[in-house]
Amino acid sequence: MNNYIRIHQVSYSINGQAVLNNIDLSLARNQFVALVGPNGSGKTTLSKLIMGIIAPSRGYILVDSTDVKDLGLANIGSKIGYLFQNPNRQIFAATVMEELTFAYRFKKHQQPQLQQQVNEMLAVFELEHLSQAKTYFLSHGEKQRVALAAILLNDPEYLILDEPTTGLDQKRKKELSSLLQKIRSKNIGMLMISHDHQFVLEQADRIIELDRGGVVNEQHS
Ligand SMILES: Nc1ncnc2c1ncn2[C@@H]1O[C@H](COP(=O)(O)OP(=O)(O)O)[C@@H](O)[C@H]1O
Ligand SMILES: [Mg+2]
């Protein structure tokens, strides 16, 4: 089956207020999907539902054919890499190297290749000169690259990126776009939340538009 993520008649309310209404979507692993829509339309909420961070009020979500509520946070996290809108929420290690090697402490069998994989990531993300830097002092763009590198080192099947171009200048955006292309060539599916119309049009093969908690438009390119 081609539908990696299946969102079935999902609604979500908080404090009696509807945030998402009856969302039905299927996302394939070989697609680069963009989720667009105005501020407050429910984009981040939908991504948190997929990650199992919050639970639907109605309906259900399947990831790789299993209900998210049965998978549990750790399993979802090992299948889907999630880049938070704010990289400060993601990065918790003191140095770049510690951030990149953290997940591996729990996967001892992968230790021999670890240094090589980390070095590759440092090169791809142009972070070599920062490997011993304190994460606290990195720029927004650098933090985002560290977060993305750490996510990819976890070998995800799918990526969800919440507003990855926020705070990036044109040059960094170009770099991010070539990185995303490289990620795609590794058969990692992607859902990118973005306000950036130009970036979305360049990158995505499917555009889903949310407004006030509902899907109002869908385009394939
Ligand atoms: N924890 C929360 N408490 C109260 N309201 C929330 C919460 N999370 C989201 N909302 C509301 O849900 C709506 C959608 O938010 P969000 O998913 O963050 O939108 P987007 O990412 O599209 O900007 C907004 O109106 C927001 O105020
Ligand atoms: Mg958001």
Question: Cα separation of 47 and 195, whole Å?
Answer: 15
Q: Which atom number of ligand 1 is nearest to the Cα of residue 42?
A: 17
Of residues 104 and 150, the one with the higher pLDDT is: 150
Vertex 19 angle, CA 43 and 84, to 5°: 30
**What's the pLDDT score for residue 1?**
47
Protein residue closest via CA to atom 26 of ligand 1: 40
Instruction: With a cut of 50, say whether residue 28 has pLDDT above it.
Output: yes
Ligand in closest contact with the CA of 19? 1
Highest mean pLDDT (candidates 17-26, 135-144, 179-188): 17-26
Ligand 1, atom 20, residue with closest C-alpha = 40
Q: How far is the CA of 213 from the centre of ligand 1 (A)?
A: 10
How many whole angstroms from 120 Cα to the centroid of ligand 2? 31
**128 has a pLDDT exceeding 60:** yes
pLDDT tens, residue by residue, 39-66: 999 999 999 999 999 999 999 999 999 9
Of 198, 200, 195, 191, nearest to 23 by C-alpha is: 191
pTM check: above 0.75: yes
Going through the chain in order, the beta strands assigned E by DSSP cover 3-14, 17-28, 32-36, 58-63, 66-67, 80-83, 158-162, 189-193, 206-211, 214-220
**Domains of the chain by range and CATH?**
3-91+142-216 (3.40.50.300)
User: Is 218 within 8 Å of 24 (Cβ atoms)?
Assistant: no
